[in-house]
Amino acid sequence: MGKFIPVSEPWLTGKELEYVQDAIKSTFISSEGKYIEEFERKFASYIGRKFGVACSSGTNALILALRALELEKGSEVILPSFTIISCALAVIYNDLIPVFVDSDMKTWNMNPDEIERKITSKTKAILMVHTYGFPCDVDRIVEIAQKYNLYIVEDFAEAIGSEYKGVKCGNFGIISCTSFYANKLITTGEGGMCLTDDERLAEKMKRLRNLAFIPEKRFFHYELGFNFRMTNIQAAIGLAQIENIEQRIKKKIFIGESYSKLLKPLEDEGVISLPPQDPQHKNTFWMYGVLLKNGITADEIMKKLYERGIQTRPFFYPLHLQPAFERFSWFKRENLSISEYLGKYGFYLPSGLTLDEEKIRFAAESLIDILKK
């Protein structure tokens, strides 16, 4: 095999090493130390929220957010079927019931009409997830949440830097959660954060991530907490990544727009759909997704791309079909046809920040060549 193009690669070209060295020299390598608060403050302020609570992963950020809202056991939380399992786990681990909704073919995000259709007297929250960098239909979802008095918890792990009508994703939830896993727009290796404007919720999440210790009395606990702490070393990496975040976003958009230009003829011929675009919103193309429309499954095309040294990933396998959930009393067989279509015919091309024009062209032209055969 000649060249190999990974689907994603972390981009660590700023002051990561300098800050990590500093953290190590300071001996603060656990979850105390100056980088945590600075990272929380800078990231929250970049997005435009008052408080940031860093934690050990995006999944744990979601668990923490839903825990902090203290929803009554058995309450229903509406979330997309077409997303990562973390979203459903956060619901289930909080003794809540996940209610899966279908996606909208135009946005690949949750369909607001479907949300409204699934609301019952037990519904307490909507978990709003922006998929692959393109914002949800925020206005409609906010309107529904207000009408039925529901919380919105936002998951913008795939939409750091994306904007809905000029407002950054991460501003639309009572708590908004993100991930800093290695393939996310900024990374801390492993890590996540909850953002909120509510000081009481921020304090609660800080307490819960740290075993619910309280400052007044050592080793005395009113609540059941978690160890979801982020380390000072991770925060040091994150801080360095924020310093060049605009450059990262620009590069992602360049990659996305380059692919779109090269693949446009295939879309015009009706062979594939390109990722959602809308001049009103900013898509940061976290991952550049392609949806096949010629009846060939993503698996087949991905295998052929891999033979040419191009690594890809399939779209999410719908959550409403996950065998892990079959044993729950709330599980029901349903047909969410758009999620199922996306799961079967979608995949994403290499989308990492280390890509250059030549690699983008090679990946796109290989796909064109494979689909023309």
Binding site for ligand PLP (CB under 6 A): 57-59, 83-84, 86-87, 129, 155, 157-158, 179, 181, 192
Encode 138-162 in three state secondary structure.
HHHHHHHHHHHCCEEEEECCCCCCC
Q: Which two tokens stand for residue 230?
A: 């982020």
Answer for the pair 113, 85: CB distance below 8 angstroms, yes or no.
Answer: no
Residue nearer to ligand PLP on the CB measure, 172 or 362: 172
Cβ neighbour number for residue 221 with a 10 Å cutoff: 12
In a 10 Å sphere around its CB, with 0-12 CB exposed, 13-18 middle and 19+ buried, how is residue 358 labelled? exposed
Question: Whole-number minimum distance, CB 370 to ligand PLP, in Å?
Answer: 27
Residue nearer to ligand PLP on the CB measure, 14 or 133: 133
Which of these, 264, 363, 356, lies nearest to 306 by C-alpha position?
Answer: 363
The residue to which tokens 């909507």 are assigned: 126
Q: Taking CB positions, which residue lies at the least distance from ligand PLP?
A: 58
Residue nearer to ligand PLP on the CB measure, 96 or 364: 96
Residue nearer to ligand PLP on the CB measure, 49 or 308: 49
Distance CA 175, CA 70 (A): 13
Residue nearer to ligand PLP on the CB measure, 241 or 366: 241
Residue 335: C-alpha distances to residues 126, 319, 339 (Å): 20, 11, 9
Question: Whole-number minimum distance, CB 192 to ligand PLP, in Å?
Answer: 5
Residue 2: C-alpha distances to residues 70, 148, 317, 353, 357 (Å): 54, 56, 31, 21, 17
* 3-class DSSP state of 331: coil
Question: Whole-number minimum distance, CB 289 to ligand PLP, in Å?
Answer: 13
Question: Whole-number minimum distance, CB 176 to ligand PLP, in Å?
Answer: 12
Question: Whole-number minimum distance, CB 89 to ligand PLP, in Å?
Answer: 9
Residue nearer to ligand PLP on the CB measure, 88 or 271: 88
Answer for the pair 282, 314: CB distance below 8 angstroms, yes or no.
Answer: no
Question: Whole-number minimum distance, CB 110 to ligand PLP, in Å?
Answer: 12
Question: Whole-number minimum distance, CB 159 to ligand PLP, in Å?
Answer: 8
**CA 282 distance to own-chain centroid:** 16
Residue nearer to ligand PLP on the CB measure, 319 or 367: 319
Residue nearer to ligand PLP on the CB measure, 193 or 291: 193
Residue nearer to ligand PLP on the CB measure, 64 or 364: 64
Question: Whole-number minimum distance, CB 68 to ligand PLP, in Å?
Answer: 17
Distance CA 77, CA 125 (A): 5
Question: Whole-number minimum distance, CB 361 to ligand PLP, in Å?
Answer: 27
141 phi/psi in degrees, rounded to 5: -70, -40
The residue to which tokens 């079967």 are assigned: 344
171 phi/psi in degrees, rounded to 5: -110, 5
Q: Which two tokens stand for residue 63?
A: 């668990």
* H helix or E strand, kind and range, residue 340: helix 337-345
